[in-house]
Structure 1
Amino acid sequence: MDKTKHLVSVIVPCYNEENTIQLLLNSILKQDFPIRDVEVVISDAFSQDKTREKIMEFTQAHPELAVKVVDNPQCTIPAAVNAAAQASDGEYLVRLDAHSMPYPDYISTCVRDLQAGKGTNVGGVWEIRPGTDSGIARAIAAAAANPLAVGDARYRFSNQEGEVDTVPFGSFRRDLFFEIGGFDESLLTNEDYEFNVRIRKQGGKIWFDPNIRCIYFARKNLNELAKQYWRYGFWKFKMLKRYPDTLRWRQALPPVFVLVNALGILLSPFFGWIILPYLSVLGLYCLILLLAGVREAIRRSEPGLIFFLPAAIMTMHFAWGAGFLMSILTKK
């Protein structure tokens, strides 16, 4: 193991993030943690926009923050994290995304919790913000923090500290990262959840601290959202094939719902008695989502959420479930 030069290495997978990379770097610069003890390692998958130019602009303007860029030729998130970790020299690794903005006490709280032994991997709350200033983008951000869309994933909405199955991003000791084996590069998504499974199976704890907060910019439109959640569902099944005991109820519902809808549509022409119960279930589902939209529209004083929020949640459910079912049908 190389001699440690920094106490903390912030590791960042990155691809085409010219609009947000400087926001991230500035938020790291403004941390209440001693900046001399922090380095940032960005693993870039050969961005085609001006991401690297934006990084260079920042480093020239702020030489007090150590920033290094490493290549990610495999162009996947787990490979990016592994490459950044390999190039790092910190005692602790704090993983962030290029389209995120940690609160000023993010690093200090992560390190404090790790040093206090609260968890092997420590993380906190995703404070979801719209990816752009549009009604549907605001609905997507609201959906990403709504229990109807994300179930009991506490990091989306909870204020209760405690042990959980996973946290977003996470922070952990560098030596632990390599002892566990790093991120599994055969999983293009769910690699962080699988990493946490290995930690737990070796007796470690995943700790959620609501005082650890990070702003995360959600997808901009329903097309991007559908692709994201289809990918989540597809790779979740691949991970569950290895660790079936990690299945949570929130993960089982979307594929069951998609399957019920598919069977309802296919069988209704042949079995007329199916139509009424099928439409009743579908109608109840739509009513629940519509009521959630009304509630959120009133709470946020934004009438468009009455319809946009149900559309976003429905997209998440169907895309995740369809991806999961498609993964079952593939051999790999």
Structure 2
Amino acid sequence: MEQSTLRGCRDASRRLVAARPPATFAAPESPEPTGDSRVEPVVLIVTVRNEARTIGPLLDSILAGTRVPDEIVVADGGSSDGTLELLRSRASADPRIRAVLAPGNRSVGRNAAVRASTAPIVACTDAGVEVEPDWLERITRPFAADPATEVVAGFYLPVGRTRFERAAGVISAPRLTEIDPKRFLPSTRSVAFRRTAWERVRGFDESLAHNEDTPFALALKAAGARFHFEPEARVRWHPRGDLRSFFRQHRRFGFGDGESRVQGSFYARLAAKYALGAILFVGGFWYRDCWAALVVGLLLFVTTQARRGAGKLGPYGRFILVPFLKVVYDAAYLSGYAQGRLSRLSSPGRPLRDRDSPRASD
């Protein structure tokens, strides 16, 4: 069965340039944060919608960090809970903060935020996450250490308050030891890139309703952008707290992959593994060896998932909840991917090519 995987950030460009050289990655290093005059100005961009409860604490933590952004641009997608008014109040008190109204999906908001800024380095995170005090300094220092660096992928850690959230975090996020820096796709929870790289791929694909960060990262790779993985640039986020929202979130991520036609070989392999399980189950009615093989496969699957939850959950969480959520997670992605592909067939727009890049723990 498939080991738990994550899209290193999920959640955008359909214009891949196949003739360009492949992306290269710098070796992951974690320099200690220190002042450096070579560090270029940076803008932090955030997209929000109805985040009145979380945007204030995020701004406070950013402004209290070891490096403060030169600009902060928050794009509001049409909030109805007072988020925009709160942002405008903060902006009137701090000239570094700017609020822009950008109705639409997150790609629309991210592009609007970049256009509303001037800094050559763009850092990106989301409302609702908790940034570590040195996050911005960590994620921007590689640009100064190597001016050829164009994208810095940070890391993100799930923080669960309940047993369900901790189990969901085990499924939804890769462990640091599972990440291959050369294959890791950054999430917009924790990423920074040069404005020139964003311009080269013409920004995030605004036709994509979900999971815009994966196509954007793939477009940058196809355009030959030089990536650097910075494991010490960390943010923390809270996984979904119930089964329904967990399923819906990951179905949306799968829909985004299908809509943008990325990760096709991954989904084919995942579907094939579950199809094999179904074949073994049905075949067992005629050949008992099929059931024996299925039992062995299930034991390996449960053991693998339980190992990922070691040190975070008790026996029930590790051996029951985590394997169960893994199946739900896979079902959500597969169903979402199928829906996304069908949506492109019904509304094809401009043609897209299938493009694949391995997931963090694929």
Give the TM-score band, short-chain normalised: 0.7 to 0.9
Cα distance in 2 between the residues matched to 1:201 and 1:14: 29
On the 8 A contact 1:12/1:41 being kept in 2, the answer is yes
What are the Cα deviations for residues 170-190 of structure 1, in whole angstroms up to 9, with x where unaligned?
211223312320000112233
Q: Which residue, 156, 160, 185 being the options, matches 1:166?
A: 185
Cα distance in 2 between the residues matched to 1:274 and 1:316: 30
> Which residue of structure 1 aligns with residue 156 of structure 2?
126
What is the percentage of aligned positions where both structures have the same residue?
A: 24
One-letter amino acid of the counterpart of residue 202, structure 2: G
Q: How does 1:226-241 map to 2 (within 5 A)?
A: 226-240=247-261
Change over 3 Å in CA distance of 1:56–1:202 after alignment to 2:
closer
Change over 3 Å in CA distance of 1:295–1:65 after alignment to 2:
farther
Number of residue pairs the alignment of both structures matches: 302
Cα distance in 2 between the residues matched to 1:283 and 1:50: 53
> Which residue of structure 1 aligns with residue 169 of structure 2?
141
TM-score (norm 1): 0.78
Q: Which runs of 4+ in 1 moved over 6 A?
A: 262-265
Q: Which residue, 48, 52, 75 being the options, matches 1:43?
A: 75
> Which residue of structure 1 aligns with residue 21 of structure 2?
none
One-letter amino acid of the counterpart of residue 121, structure 2: Y
> Which residue of structure 2 aligns with residue 323 of structure 1?
336
What are the Cα deviations for residues 216-242 of structure 1, in whole angstroms up to 9, with x where unaligned?
2221222111112112222213323xx
Q: How does 1:232-251 map to 2 (within 5 A)?
A: 232-240=253-261, 249=266, 251=267
What are the Cα deviations for residues 107-128 of structure 1, in whole angstroms up to 9, with x where unaligned?
1122211232363211121111
- Asked if residue 89 in structure 1 is aligned to residue 108 in structure 2, the reply is no
Q: Which residue, 19, 25, 46 being the options, matches 1:12?
A: 46
On the 8 A contact 1:254/1:320 being kept in 2, the answer is no
Deviates more, 1:208-217 or 1:255-264: 255-264
Deviates more, 1:16-25 or 1:175-184: 16-25
Deviates more, 1:100-109 or 1:320-329: 320-329
Change over 3 Å in CA distance of 1:298–1:163 after alignment to 2:
closer
Cα distance in 2 between the residues matched to 1:48 and 1:276: 59
- Asked if residue 29 in structure 1 is aligned to residue 63 in structure 2, the reply is yes
One-letter amino acid of the counterpart of residue 207, structure 1: H
Cα distance in 2 between the residues matched to 1:118 and 1:211: 20
Q: Which residue, 205, 219, 224 being the options, matches 1:203?
A: 224
On the 8 A contact 2:90/2:97 being kept in 1, the answer is no
Cα distance in 2 between the residues matched to 1:276 and 1:48: 59
Looking at secondary structure, tell me which structure has more helix per residue. 1
Structure 1 unaligned residues grouped into runs of 5+: 1-5, 147-155
On the 8 A contact 2:280/2:294 being kept in 1, the answer is no
Deviates more, 1:309-318 or 1:17-26: 17-26
Q: Which residue, 214, 218, 227 being the options, matches 2:239?
A: 218
Secondary structure of 2:230's partner?
strand
> Which residue of structure 2 aligns with residue 151 of structure 1?
none
On the 8 A contact 2:88/2:98 being kept in 1, the answer is no
**TM superposition shift of 1:202:** 2.0
**TM superposition shift of 1:79:** 1.0
Cα distance in 2 between the residues matched to 1:96 and 1:69: 15
Cα distance in 2 between the residues matched to 1:180 and 1:202: 7
What are the Cα deviations for residues 142-200 of structure 1, in whole angstroms up to 9, with x where unaligned?
22235xxxxxxxxx524878433511222112233123200001122332221222222
Cα distance in 2 between the residues matched to 1:220 and 1:192: 23
Structure with the larger RCO, 1 or 2 (CA within 8 Å, 6+ apart): 2
Cα distance in 1 between the residues matched to 2:275 and 2:342: 13
> Which residue of structure 2 aligns with residue 105 of structure 1?
134
On the 8 A contact 2:204/2:216 being kept in 1, the answer is yes
> Which residue of structure 2 aligns with residue 188 of structure 1?
209
Secondary structure of 2:207's partner?
coil
Change over 3 Å in CA distance of 1:290–1:202 after alignment to 2:
closer
Cα distance in 2 between the residues matched to 1:50 and 1:138: 31
Cα distance in 2 between the residues matched to 1:284 and 1:237: 32
Cα distance in 2 between the residues matched to 1:67 and 1:195: 25
> Which residue of structure 2 aligns with residue 79 of structure 1?
108
On the 8 A contact 2:76/2:109 being kept in 1, the answer is yes
**TM superposition shift of 1:50:** 4.2
What are the Cα deviations for residues 33-68 of structure 1, in whole angstroms up to 9, with x where unaligned?
1x3x522211112223343455467567xx457222
What are the Cα deviations for residues 262-310 of structure 1, in whole angstroms up to 9, with x where unaligned?
6678xx49x9437863x55654454345335654665235344132222
